[in-house]
Structure 1
Amino acid sequence: MVHLIHFESKLHHAQHYIGFVEGDLGQRIALHKMSRGAKLLAAVNEVGIDWHVVRIWRGADRSFERKLKNYKKARCFCPLCGGHL
């Protein structure tokens, strides 16, 4: 499953994170909240920026995650940023 996380404010240039999890999304989010997941989310947590999972693609695989990341415009997929893709 692929998920999109929206940061309430930017960290340098970044305002989104796209990730993949094979198992329990709730467990993965808990790891991110404890700064034991992605380095970007650990950095966001360190400076106190709130974030939320805003979109989930159930059944999507790592190749789909890579396709989204290679697009380099996660805001286009974010419902909070007016994304329409």
Structure 2
Amino acid sequence: MVFQTPIRQAYPSYKSPYGPKYHYQPNVAGWTFKQIGSLGFKAGAFGGVALFAVIFYASGIPKVKKDILQKIPFIGSHYINEVPASDNPF
């Protein structure tokens, strides 16, 4: 069995002040928290655009107008249809 000498145990190995500064970087399954935050922001942005596109394309459906779009503050009054029942095909 090999033992370190007491001199080796007392003094740590030399570390140059000009060398790389390594430090522990916390991660979850290999993804750093900075990468997770960036990915979450991008996913949220794409999700917001997709939601806007779905509502925009479905805005012609009367049920969507009545149940969703008319309840949005400030722009809900734009979707209220004042057509008489005799002229409305729906």
Give the TM-score of the pair, scaled to structure 2.
Answer: 0.17
> Counting helix residues as a fraction of each chain, which structure ranks higher?
2
Look at both structures and tell me which one has the larger radius of gyration over its CA atoms: 2
Higher relative contact order, chain-length normalized (CA < 8 Å, sep 6+)? 1
Give the TM-score of the pair, scaled to structure 1.
Answer: 0.18
> Counting strand residues as a fraction of each chain, which structure ranks higher?
1
